[in-house]
Amino acid sequence: MKIDILTLFPEMFVPLKESIVGRAVKRNKIEINLVNIRDFSIDKHKKCDDYPFGGGAGMVMMPQPLADAIEAVDAAHTARRIYLSPKGETFSQKMLPRLGGYGHIVLVCGHYEGIDQRVIDLFIDEEISLGDFVLTGGELPAMVVADCLARFQGGVLSEGSLTDESFTGGLLEYPQYTRPQVFRGLPVPEVLVSGDHAKVDAWRKEQALKLTKERRPDLLEEEK
Ligand code: 4G0
């Protein structure tokens, strides 16, 4: 899968190029291409934002540099073009099979008060929001979406961790422990060192259910 990220601040993406996503990139599971929207400005000062028609606070990203940047990476509109915005559908793990099915994704990062609505109407396929909060730009949400996709596309984690983990079973994850068996007086639950795999599985399922009932009862409603 190829992911183009269109942004005024490509230097913000250092964390994405490191660690877990970097490994997926190296294993040819995912290719990430950062595009500076400012490179497409035809203005003599490379201006990319302007005052909103009708007045109001803040600035709006101009349509021309963005439209040209989108057409430069996806002329034939074969990619899924996604705008990260607080107005979008809330992002979740459940979207990953669909998003992972696209061979090419273009992530558009807005800044200021967002982008000119006509760019959304003419060029964007869907809007995705990370949740009910406003950031200074769509860069952090784009990194989150790219990281989730890199992880989902495989090569990042073992098969088991994708099938057992939080949300894939519709439940929060059971608690995990590693060595030492006693840490600052706290022992690991006895069942985990019993060697009885059936008992371990049953304990984990029970813990996951208890935690989900306490913290995220909405997830249990959703299951039905
Ligand atoms: C569009 C996404 C983009 C409009 C982007 C701001 C939060 C999210 C942006 C605005 C973002 C999210 C109207 C301020 C850039 N903030 N929740 N900031 N407005 O996913």
Q: List the structure tokens of 195.
A: 């060697």
CATH node for 2-152: 3.40.1280.10
pLDDT at 29: 84
Residues 55/24, Cβ–Cβ less than 8 Å: no
Place of tokens 């984990």: 204
Closest to 149 in 3D by CA, of 188, 183, 104: 104
**Cα of 25 to ligand 1 centre, how many Å?**
27
What integer pLDDT is reported at residue 19 of this predicted model?
Answer: 62
CA–centroid distance, residue 170 to ligand 1 (Å): 28
| CB contact at 8 A, 139 and 9 | yes
Q: Give the residues of the chain that fall short of pLDDT 50.
A: 155-160, 162-164, 168
Global pTM value = 0.93
Which letter does DSSP use for residue 11 in this model? G
111-146 burial, b at 16+ Cβ within 10 Å, e below that, comes to bbebbbeebbeebbeebbbbeeeeeebbbebbbebb
Take atom 14 of ligand 1 and give the residue whose Cα is closest.
113
Q: Closest ligand 1 atom to the C-alpha of 132?
A: 17
pLDDT at 26: 67
Q: Report d(CA 22, CA 15) in Å as an integer.
A: 9
**pLDDT (tens digit per residue) in 4-29:** 999 999 999 998 877 667 777 767 78
Asked if 148 contacts 185 with a C-beta cutoff of 8 angstroms, the reply is: no
Beta bridge partners, 83, equal: 108, 127
**Where does the chain hold its CATH 3.40.1280.10 domain(s)?**
2-152
**Topology (CATH) of 168-223:** Trp Operon Repressor; Chain A (1.10.1270)
Q: Report how far Cα 203 is from the mean position of its chain's Cα atoms.
A: 31
- In the chain, which segments carry CATH 1.10.1270.20? 168-223
Can you give the length of the chain in residues? 224
Instruction: Report the atom number in ligand 1 closest to the C-alpha of 131.
Output: 17
